[in-house]
Amino acid sequence: MRLANETLALLIDGDNASPKVVVGLLAEIANYGTASVKRIYGDWTKPNLNGWKDCLLEHSIQPIQQFAYTTGKNATDGAMIIDAMDLLYTGRFSGFCIVSSDSDFARLAARIREQGITVYGFGERKTPRPFITACDKFVYFDVLNPVDKQDAGAEGGLAGTDAHASKSDARSPLDADAISMLIAAIRATAEDDGRANLAKVGSYLAKQAPDFDSRNYGFPRLTNLVEASGIATVERIGDNTTIVHVRLLSDTRQK
């Protein structure tokens, strides 16, 4: 699903995002393609958005002004949805990046996907499931935010070393649901000999759970997560370490 030549549209809900995530966000999006449109929506007359100015200038993100017409109604969402549909019908984009933790964008994501266009979602852990599952892939802010790493190294000396060590060791445990999904994905993509190409395993996981990401558990790659899980053997093919096969240990023991 990661095609570096994709032309993408990046749409950010300014009320549900922070400038602190932008560096990590753009680095993540670069894995999928080039964001030729970068827009952020909000009521820029409100003080809660003041912190965005320098970030928008540095990263060439276009702010779109949307006044809040009435209390309790989110006019920003409406403007963002209308623009997304306008961009969709130009036929110029192979993917959309929607940055929000708001369930109001679930239908938008689903509608874009109905056109055969890939949708990448980004948001907080509190993001409602309907929006997450409407995306092809969903990435949580905390796995791409580089601020924590900078803060950890800013202390310097022994304190900086301890901070780095504690962060690298702070991994969320693989819960039963994650293990079950891994096992199911390996079995679903395995060949007759029980071996599964890890790239196919990753694609299967993305379809079943768009927010499944090895970084959620503290591992940079799926390979590292599978190795740490203890449920499968990992085999790198030849000198090309990008080709990885996995086989469930339970299947190996039965042979």
Q: What is the CATH number of the domain that holds 223?
A: 3.30.420.610
Mean pLDDT on 240-254 = 76
Residue identified by tokens 């980004």 is 122
Lowest mean pLDDT among 180-184, 203-207, 239-243: 239-243
Tell me: pLDDT of 230 over 60.
yes
* 158 belongs to a structural domain: no
Tell me: pLDDT of 146 over 70.
no
Q: What is the token pair recorded at 129?
A: 């499931």
Per DSSP, 61 falls in state: P
Mean pLDDT on 11-32 = 94
Q: List residues bridging with 13 in a β-sheet.
A: 41
The rounded distance, in Å, linking the Cα atoms of 85 and 94 is 13
Whether 139 and 19 share a structural domain: yes
User: pTM for this structure?
Assistant: 0.79
Contact residues for 5 (Cβ-Cβ < 8 A; gap 6+): 33, 34
Which H or E run includes 228? helix 222-229
CATH number assigned to the domain comprising residue 94: 3.40.50.1010
Contact residues for 76 (Cβ-Cβ < 8 A; gap 6+): 13, 14, 15, 41, 42, 43, 66, 68
The rounded distance, in Å, linking the Cα atoms of 236 and 6 is 28
pLDDT (tens digit, 9 = 90+) per residue, 75-95?
788 999 999 999 999 999 999
Mean pLDDT of the chain: 85
Mean pLDDT on 168-193 = 81
Which H or E run includes 147? helix 147-154
How many CA atoms lie less than 13 Å away from 166 in the CB half-sphere? 10
* 161 belongs to a structural domain: no
Look at residue 92 in the predicted model and tell me its pLDDT: 96
* 67 belongs to a structural domain: yes
Look at residue 240 in the predicted model and tell me its pLDDT: 62
E strand spans, the chain: 6-13, 33-42, 62-65, 95-99, 118-123, 137-140, 196-197, 232-236, 244-248
Q: What is the token pair recorded at 252?
A: 């190996």
Helix, coil or strand: residue 22: helix
Q: What single-letter amino acid sits at 13?
A: D
Mean pLDDT on 22-43 = 95
pLDDT (tens digit, 9 = 90+) per residue, 106-143?
999 999 999 999 999 999 999 999 999 999 999 999 99
Whether 122 and 185 share a structural domain: no
* 249 belongs to a structural domain: yes
Look at residue 173 in the predicted model and tell me its pLDDT: 67
* 188 belongs to a structural domain: yes
Domain residue limits at 184? 176-254
> Structurally, how many domains does the chain consist of?
2
Whether 117 and 35 share a structural domain: yes
The rounded distance, in Å, linking the Cα atoms of 110 and 136 is 9
Whether 137 and 182 share a structural domain: no
Q: What is the token pair recorded at 234?
A: 């990992």
